[in-house]
Structure 1
Amino acid sequence: MKKQIILLLVIGQSYFVYSQFTSNAENKLLYGEELYSKGNYQEAILQFKKCIAIFKKSNENQLLGKTYNNLGRALSQTGNSEEALTNYLLSLLFSKQTNDNLGIAKTYKNIGALYAEQKDFENAMHYYNSSFKLSKQLHNLSLMADCQNNMGVVYEQQIKYNKALQMYSKALAIYISKGDEQKISMVYNNLAIVYKYLKNYPEAIKNYKSALILSEKLGDQFMVAANQNNLGNVYALTHNYQKSLELCKLANTNAKAINAQEVIIESYDGISIAYEKLDQFTDAIKYRKLYELEKDNYINSERSDLLAEKHIKYETQKKVDEIKLLNQAGKIRELKIKEQDFKITKKNHQITAFIILLLGLISIAYFWKKSQKFKNQLINEKIIRETEEQERIRIAKDIHDDLGSGLTKINFLSEIIFQKTHHLPEIRNNSESVKETAKKLIDNMRDLIWALNPDNSTIANLLSRMREYATDYLEDYPIELHNFFPENLPETPITKEANRELFMVVKECLNNIVKHSKATDVFFTVNIKTDDLTFSIKDNGIGLDCETDKKGNGLLNMQSRLLKIGGICSVISEPNNGTLITITYPLNQKFKNN
């Protein structure tokens, strides 16, 4: 019991430590986001990298995806586009692993913004569209509007102003529905810019005024000054220079209060132009000088910042190079060892490849020889079969010529004796019997010769022969034959054995009907399917006693013949209701013994 309690305490404490560890990392992530929002991008980058190291240890993949996305945004703001893209792709990797579709959509949008900064508008639109579709699936209206606004910016840069207006208008509708005043102000500003390019100055003024009202409401002093200056510039384009002068002076005053250097410079330019158009040249020159002075100071300041940044990068690179030089000797040694290992491995691979190739050639030679032997065997068997076929045909012809002529002569002589022995009944009856026997032998001989001919071993020839025989055989009796054969008989080959046995079985069926059934109608039906050939022979006679008649020689002979070729026979009969005999031959047997 004590051991279990101790174990539970250890597990609980481990969970507590893990929770604290994760919680601290999440706090660092929030702190990094706060630094980013304040514009402290370098500090935010360091903070995000610390978070990544922690989340990797704790396998927090969803938080890793979010942190990589934030790191990409911070790097993008510092001009490190390639590194930013790398982190965005890592963000996508971890977000997809955790099915964080919202994180994926946000990252797609940020990648689009990165490509838009590089003027790669095709890729930018691809990622904006991907983000928009995913946001739509998630019903995230705010993210949808962000994508539409960004697509509007791309269209604006491509001078596709009508499409830009459409996108801005859609984004504005969503922001208004969400009550996001800061983004509403931003879209008004974007709309005003496009209308200014289209020289639709009334709409531009209207939208700048809407943006200005919201900026004042939000207390965003920078945007207040910027909107006042932009509005002043549009009034100048409408030749209302007095109004332009008032707004640019107001923008200048507000910009100086927050040290917004860019707005100060632009407002000096606007004031100078307004004074010039109002023919107040002294003031125009004064503000033009102030514009040039502030502009030069701003450029010099930017250059100083750029030089300082380059110096830091140089010092950093110098330290990195020193570390590389220290590691270089060790790496060279490692490379030499790896090179030696590679040579040994390469040699082993070459030997292995040679052995495999040799074995492959031996195998190919063996199987080729075996296949040739098999082909020769097949050729020899085919020659033997063809020789046997020719010999059978020759024998059949000899039988037909010799035995056939003899039987025909016996039949003829029997007929003469029958006609000349009216006064001798016993001899007359015997001659009639001899005549009938000779006739049957002639018919059987014809059937045998027909079956031996390989040209007749097809379904079409077999069925044609069956129909001809049944018609000829039953016309001598008071039985009407009804044939139901397919219209198009296939030329599918079957074995000689199947050809002969199936024909003999049908003959046996018809013979039994004539001898025993007392039928007046016979229905001969043939069905040909993909796998089966089926014969149905039905009569309207007195029927069979299935228990007794199935043991007779006729049915037993039929079943024996069908068994040889893989066929089956079924008999359905009732007294005074006729008999149905169904013969089924599987066509997949047709090539056996060929």
Structure 2
Amino acid sequence: MSFKKSYYLSLIIVGLVVVSLSLITLIQKDTKQQDQDISQFNKHFKALKTEALSHHKETYNDLHLKIDSLIKDFDHLDIKQKVYQELTELALQKNDSHLLYKYNGLSLNLAKKYKDTIAIGLSHWDYAAFFLKHQKYGDAFKHYQKAQKAFSENRHPYYEAKMWYNMAFIKGRLKEYTESEAFIYKALPYLRDAQKHKQVYRCYTLLSFIYEDLEGLDVAIKYLSFALETIQNKELPYLEAATLNNLGLIYHKKKNFQKALNYFNEALSIDDLKQVKPSLYARLLDNRAYTSFTYGEQKYQSDFEKALEIRKALSNKAGVILSQIHLAEIHWKRKDTTQAIQYAKEAVKRAQDINLKRELLNGLLLLAKFEPHMADQHMNTWKVTHDEIEHKLRKQRHKVAKVQFKTQEIKGEADRLKMHKQLLVLALTLGALLSLTFYLYIRQKNKIKRIKYQRRQEYQLQLKEEEERNRIAADLHDSILGKLFGLRIHWGLLDFKNSLNAENEHRKHLNTLSQLEKDIRDVAHDLKKQNKDIDLASQLENIGRVKSQVGAFDLTYKAQDQEIGKDLTLFIKKHLLAITEEVMQNVIKHAQATHVSIEIKKTKDTIHLIISDDGKGFKTKRRRKGIGLDNMKRRAEQINAKLNIKSKPGKGTTIVIKLKES
């Protein structure tokens, strides 16, 4: 038998090992295939990035088809999601709207399907970045708002704060400075507490631009100083250079040219600025030269040409236009009208080509000044351009306002639905509570009715018992006792003098008859006495004393007041005494106790009867044989009392009876 058991056990173990190895092989095979697919994707994606910088459209499209084919075979959703996000980022870099809508749409749908709020937020963020790049502020604002909501649902405060900043940036571009300020102050507290220095720097920089228009140049300087303090000693020298440039521009506007030059010079002294940030370096050269020129100096005039050359080399079209406008002003100042007009016209043409409205307006103002005979034509063009800018700005503001209004409308509707839901829940809860209260009230009312009915029945029973006792007592006293008395009298008158023995026997029977008469009289009196009230405290003590003599144990009796329980009905008192009798009888029969205590006391409207012994005790959870305990519990229930038994082997027993007096 032992051999068979070992054999079957060995077969089971071998089977489990084979199944486990098969599963491991399948998992490894699946993982290996997945790794190969990812490796292939990375290879094609790297090639795609390279082709994105070239102009080989056919190769670029072929790579996309290969990537799409690989993505379909990906089983892991998180990998597929990451791939979509990487392709979206590439589409943003290439400014490819078709691919951005395609891959970001797939990413967003996948995120919504699996309720991934972070991925939902990132997809909306990518849409917003694309629209912001194309100055579609309404669409950008809408997606930043959706991204913020998604991040807030997932409790990602950093991303949420960045969305507040982006919305503030758009509001600043639309010159809605008050709302822009409000959005910044939603982002700033978290970014500052989290020590996100670059983001805090951007918030202060944006606030400086806002306050420049709202509260003046001095407040703008204050917030630029905050921005500078935030990034100092944080190894962010190029952000520091940009802030110094902004401070220089503010002081230029304040006509404090010397201080402006000091800030430009400080920024230009930062190491490797020309190599690492050539566009910022060119901007600083141009601004320093223009401030020096405005100040009346000739010290940095060559910087204009240097800045222009750097900007041309970088294909920085906006920077080239700004340099040409500054050069036009310088040549006009030098009385070189031809060169001034040439630079101004080139700036205007470039601004028109790349749709730079602000620089176009500045160039047209210069041409109106340089060519008085064509001033009306230039000013008409300026007016048309200015009106176009204002119209576009109003349109963008309207679109953003519409987005906000719809958002508020949706939020309001959601709040209303939430309120209705809360009111419904409250109404249902109140209804349930009222129903429960009504049910408990009816139940309690019925219980009270039952108790009253039971007490009436008990009272009627007591009356009947009392009547029966009175009848028996009357019969004993009036009929039987009278007859016995008459018999005794007649028997006593008989003459037994002739027989001594008969006389003795006669006397003996007379005595017995007299004693019987006395006993019957006592019974009759006792029956009548039982109808009168019982002194509960005295009766309890009497039971204890009698039982202590029978059981040979010491008794301690304590009554809080001799009048205690006087308001209880006779029925209740009898049941309490009967329970006490039963308890004492159990002590004598089972407990082997040397000491018993009986205590009756009252707290508020509750009477406590406590009977304790130091006997051997018992396990209360174990059902004991006999009807004594059941009788006690039944009697307690009949008088609406609570009976609690506490006992442990070797620890004695305590019985507590609690009874409402009213």
TM-score where L is the length of structure 1 = 0.51
Matched with 1:64 is: 84
1:117 to 170, 173, 197: 170
Shift of 1:255: 0.8
Counterpart of 1:229 in structure 2: which amino acid? D
Shift of 1:147: 1.5
Shift of 1:227: 0.7
1:470 to 515, 526, 540: 540
The CA distance in 2 between the partners of 1:95 and 1:51, in whole Å, is 33
Superposed counterparts of 1:342-491, under 5 Å = 389-397=455-463, 399-400=465-466, 403=469, 437=523, 441=527, 445=531, 470=540, 481-483=557-559
Superposed counterparts of 1:142-157, under 5 Å = 144-157=196-209
Indicate the SS of the match to 1:79.
coil
Indicate the SS of the match to 2:42.
helix
Counterpart of 1:562 in structure 2: which amino acid? K
Shift of 1:154: 2.4
Shift of 1:433: 5.2
Indicate the SS of the match to 2:462.
helix
Counterpart of 2:579 in structure 1: which amino acid? V
Cα pair distance change 1:131/1:109, threshold 3 Å: farther
Deviations 1:38-60 (Å, cap 9, x if unpaired)? xx9x99x9999889856753353
Counterpart of 2:654 in structure 1: which amino acid? T
1:524 to 599, 602, 611: 599
Counterpart of 1:222 in structure 2: which amino acid? S
Cα pair distance change 1:7/1:222, threshold 3 Å: closer
Shift of 1:18: 1.5
Indicate the SS of the match to 1:247.
coil
Counterpart of 1:117 in structure 2: which amino acid? I
The CA distance in 1 between the partners of 2:352 and 2:649, in whole Å, is 116
The CA distance in 2 between the partners of 1:197 and 1:300, in whole Å, is 27
Matched with 2:134 is: 78
Matched with 1:224 is: 281
1:166 to 226, 240, 243: 226
The CA distance in 1 between the partners of 2:263 and 2:206, in whole Å, is 20
Shift of 1:66: 4.1
Deviations 1:387-440 (Å, cap 9, x if unpaired)? 66535424434544674698699899x9xx9xxxxxx98788667755765566
The CA distance in 1 between the partners of 2:571 and 2:69, in whole Å, is 83
Task: Report if the CA contact (8 A) 1:501-1:562 is conserved.
Answer: no
Indicate the SS of the match to 2:597.
strand
The CA distance in 2 between the partners of 1:388 and 1:146, in whole Å, is 84
Matched with 2:263 is: 207
Cα pair distance change 1:47/1:234, threshold 3 Å: farther
Shift of 1:27: 0.8
Counterpart of 1:171 in structure 2: which amino acid? I
Shift of 1:505: 0.3
The CA distance in 1 between the partners of 2:654 and 2:132, in whole Å, is 85
Q: Which ranges in structure 1 are unaligned for 5 or more consecutive residues? A: 306-374, 418-423, 451-464, 547-552
Matched with 2:108 is: none
Superposed counterparts of 1:27-106, under 5 Å = 27-28=46-47, 30-31=49-50, 53=68, 56-57=71-72, 58=74, 59=77, 60-69=80-89, 71=92, 72=126, 73-80=129-136
1:21 to 11, 19, 40: 40
Task: Report if the CA contact (8 A) 1:182-1:218 is conserved.
Answer: no
Cα pair distance change 1:221/1:26, threshold 3 Å: same
Find out whether 1:536 has 2:610 as its counterpart. yes
Q: Which ranges in structure 2 are unaligned for 5 or more consecutive residues? A: 1-21, 93-125, 173-178, 212-218, 358-440, 486-509, 550-554, 619-624, 638-642
Task: Report if the CA contact (8 A) 1:208-1:227 is conserved.
Answer: yes
Shift of 1:61: 2.0
1:241 to 280, 285, 296: 296
Cα pair distance change 1:22/1:398, threshold 3 Å: same
Shift of 1:110: 7.1
TM-score where L is the length of structure 2 = 0.47
Shift of 1:151: 1.3
Counterpart of 2:296 in structure 1: which amino acid? Y
Task: Report if the CA contact (8 A) 1:272-1:287 is conserved.
Answer: yes
Matched with 1:251 is: 304
Task: Report if the CA contact (8 A) 2:252-2:291 is conserved.
Answer: yes
RMSD: 6.7
Shift of 1:166: 2.1
Matched with 2:580 is: 506
Deviations 1:299-322 (Å, cap 9, x if unpaired)? 3323599xxxxxxxxxxxxxxxxx
Task: Report if the CA contact (8 A) 1:55-1:63 is conserved.
Answer: no
Q: Percent identity?
A: 10
